[in-house]
A and B are shown apart, each in its own frame.
Chain A
Amino acid sequence: MVKFRRLLSAVVICFIMTATLSGCGGGKTQTTPKPEEPKKAEEPKKDKEKVKITVWSGIPGENGPDAMAQAFMKDNPDITVEYIRYVNDETGNTKLDTSLLSGNTVDVFVSHGPDRTIGRITSELAEPLDEYLKKDNIDSVKDFGPGYNTYNGKTYALPMTNVDDFIWINKKMFDDAKIPVPTDWTWDEFREIAKKLSKGEGESRVYGAMMYTGWPDGWMKPAFVKLGPDIHSDTMAINLDNPYFKKALDLRYNMEVVDKSWVPTPLAIAKKLTLQDMFLTQKTAMMYGGSWLLRYVKNAKDYPHDFICAFAPLPKWEKNQDKVYNSCGSLDENISINKKSANKEAAWKYAKFWATDGFKYMVPGGKIPGWKNADKNQVSKDLLGDNPEKLFDVTSFKNVVLGKNGDYYVTPVIAARREVATLLDQEAQKALAGQVTVDKAIENMKKNAEDVVKRSKK
């Protein structure tokens, strides 16, 4: 009797299992994305049928995207645009990635920075754009610039924004210390100035310099200024044999630990300090960041401040350094179409709009177009805004923000780049905390980077 009961329970459980699994076959899209696209792109639509596209980017709606969407919808009454902002941090980007995977809620998306863009391109989340570019006669390199938007011979994104790195300067602090705004300086001079301008202790300490904490390759950036394309070699994701990497880590060590003039990254992470908070409350005299910071500086409501911002180009290593590169690499914001989008035509229309004519809505929020045909005077006027003298030192603004900041170089598309950069950063942190010497740290970095690249090549 008992045996029969057991057999019966087993049979019933099997039955329930099969019923469940067949019933939730569709529900598995969460964890196991469908291998082929089940939907055909679009059947020919009737002309007046409204198409809805969703656009994602890391820029707050009020800094341009909302106005752009409105303008687009006016010109294209058959397309509705919904704009969704994702915060450009770990969680926000994971949110975008999972939405891209599940397919339905993303049509156009903007990736910020090489790590994210390369990540999405190598994971084949973006639709190849070559057809569209050919049809509309756009050449991604000639009309915009070099970038890391191609993979296996196909173009997957349009690089559209100039987010050059430069040094932002608190002019009042410089004037008080009788330091002229630099126009051509070296990292040693940078270090001297930072040391001079650091004072105070503990909570109220004023630092000389701070860098964006969201860059895992931040400590390496000074080296990028010299190396450009030599950052990467064929054998290693990051060419750590090059002596400038050690110089960059030494510089950071000297400034952060010896001079105590640079805001330490672990402190910034532990207290969740942001670049704009520190700079605009005069806790740091200089900041190393890109043009995206303009929207904070111009935001007098949330960040009132009574000093004007001056700008300086990135310091060089030697006074007569022949080639100077910008440490951001190239045009840093890329717009792409979701491979799983159901409205690719409309999505491309919007992507093209954003990268070309529509970009002017982003300029007041601090974005500089990479499009070669953008109206430069209009850009300059919109960037500065009304009353520019109140906020900026207009001469250095025009020279640095609107000028050329070093050559661009192309970041090679290596999928393991993110992991490598994170591991290298961990070693750098250990060196900065004094746990290992700078030399040992560079050695460890080389080994770790090799391990990772070897592992991912399989």
Chain B
Amino acid sequence: MIRKDKFKRYMTGYMFIMPALMGVLVFTLFPVAFSFILSFCDWNLFSGIKGIKFVGLDNFHVMLSDGLFTSSLFNNLLFTIITVPAIIIMALLIALLLNKNIYFRGVLRGMFFFPYVSNIVAISIVWMVLFSPEGGPINMFLKQLGMTNPPGWLASIKWALPSIGIITIWLNVGYIMVIYLAALQGVPKSQYEAAEIDGASGMQKFFNITLPYLSPTTFFVLIITLINSFKVFGPVNILTHGGPGSSSYVLVYYTYVTAFRYYKMGYASAMAWILFIIIFAFTIIQWRGQKKWVNYM
């Protein structure tokens, strides 16, 4: 029998978490469970609850032969390969630079971080103007440099996805930079001094001191940039609508279109769960791999 005061403590605890718990239950757990069930069903949103038909693994079979799905998956992988290394490397370099005592360091840090907190729609519209194939600043600059046929960016099949990639990289570098800046503060100066005494060069110091100390952070950064790169949606929906053709179709956009343009909720749920499995698989791989290269000091 638990004593009365302990019981009271428990109940108080539960009362405190109840509002948040209810929120999580209703808005997170229930939809997740419902979508899991839906992924095995066929459901046109307009036919009401009675329209939910159980179809087993049909949705997944269809996905395998759905050209647009495989295109989206391929585009996502391409997108991840383009953006993840670029974000991490650029963020690290900028963080290293902004760690030194240069002029206007605070302002520069703010400027780099600013895109991350800006509204994605506003950002997309601005980049749309920048990427404008004829009169846009980027292409005019390239033409000045002598390029006769600058890329069509958002209007070109080859360049639509890389353009979205560029926007995403610009967006996320600031956030990752801040994380690295924080981590850099944790590298003990004494190590650098010791290395200098032994005659280490700048590069040697970087690869043998800085990087290992940053490896836990890099591990974290790798996971979140990878996960976020699979979730890209905003710029695609605003700027390219998956086009031209299907060159910038990504999984989340295809899921959105399937759910809210064609109202095939079952199929869309199945796609969402496949995305979850893919992201989960990548995360597991990284988690297992951390023993190899992450040094926890």
Determine if B10 and A8 form an interchain contact, defined as CB atoms under 8 angstroms apart: yes
> How far does the alpha carbon of A5 sit from the alpha carbon of B49 in the complex, in Å?
39
In the complex, which residues 107-127 of chain A have their Cβ closer than 8 Å to any Cβ of chain B? 119, 123-125
Interface readout for B243-261 with A: 1 if CB under 8 Å, 0 if not? 1111000000000010011
Determine if B243 and A16 form an interchain contact, defined as CB atoms under 8 angstroms apart: no
> How far does the alpha carbon of A205 sit from the alpha carbon of B21 in the complex, in Å?
59
Determine if B48 and A34 form an interchain contact, defined as CB atoms under 8 angstroms apart: yes
Determine if B135 and A202 form an interchain contact, defined as CB atoms under 8 angstroms apart: yes
Determine if A16 and B21 form an interchain contact, defined as CB atoms under 8 angstroms apart: yes
Interface centre among A27, A123, A423 (most CB of B within 10 A): A123
Question: Any chain A CB within 8 A of the CB of B132?
Answer: yes
Known: A94-B260, A264-B155, A269-B240. A124 touches B47 (CB 8 A): yes
Determine if A418 and B262 form an interchain contact, defined as CB atoms under 8 angstroms apart: yes
Question: Which residue of B133, B242, B245, B263 contacts A270 across the interface (Cβ within 8 Å)?
Answer: B133
Determine if A17 and B25 form an interchain contact, defined as CB atoms under 8 angstroms apart: yes
Question: B55's closest neighbor in chain A, by CB?
Answer: A458
| B89 CB to nearest A CB, Å | 29
Question: Any chain B CB within 8 A of the CB of A101?
Answer: yes
Determine if A101 and B45 form an interchain contact, defined as CB atoms under 8 angstroms apart: yes
Question: Any chain B CB within 8 A of the CB of A105?
Answer: no
Determine if B263 and A123 form an interchain contact, defined as CB atoms under 8 angstroms apart: yes
Question: Any chain A CB within 8 A of the CB of B46?
Answer: yes
Residues of A within 8 A of B152 (CB): 266-267, 270
Contact segment of B62-70, B186-194, B210-218, B284-292 = B62-70
Interface readout for A11-41 with B: 1 if CB under 8 Å, 0 if not? 0110011001100100100011111000000
Residues of B within 8 A of A134 (CB): none
In the complex, which residues 434-458 of chain A have their Cβ closer than 8 Å to any Cβ of chain B? 435, 448, 451, 455, 458
Tally of contacts, chain A with chain B, CB under 8 A: 123
For the complex, count residues of B whose C-beta is within 8 A of A: 52
Question: Any chain B CB within 8 A of the CB of A272?
Answer: yes
Question: Any chain A CB within 8 A of the CB of B153?
Answer: yes
Determine if A266 and B244 form an interchain contact, defined as CB atoms under 8 angstroms apart: yes
> How far does the alpha carbon of A9 sit from the alpha carbon of B10 in the complex, in Å?
9
Determine if B132 and A270 form an interchain contact, defined as CB atoms under 8 angstroms apart: yes
Known: A16-B22, A433-B157, A451-B65. A426 touches B243 (CB 8 A): yes
Using a CB–CB cutoff of 8 Å, the interface residues on chain A facing chain B are: 4-5, 8-9, 12-13, 16-17, 20-21, 24, 27, 31-35, 90, 94, 97, 101, 119, 123-125, 202-203, 205, 264-267, 269-272, 418-419, 422-423, 426-427, 429-430, 433, 435, 448, 451, 455, 458
Question: Would you list the 10 A-B pairs with minimal beta carbon distance, nearest first?
Answer: A123-B46, A203-B135, A266-B244, A270-B154, A270-B155, A430-B245, A203-B134, A202-B134, A266-B155, A429-B245
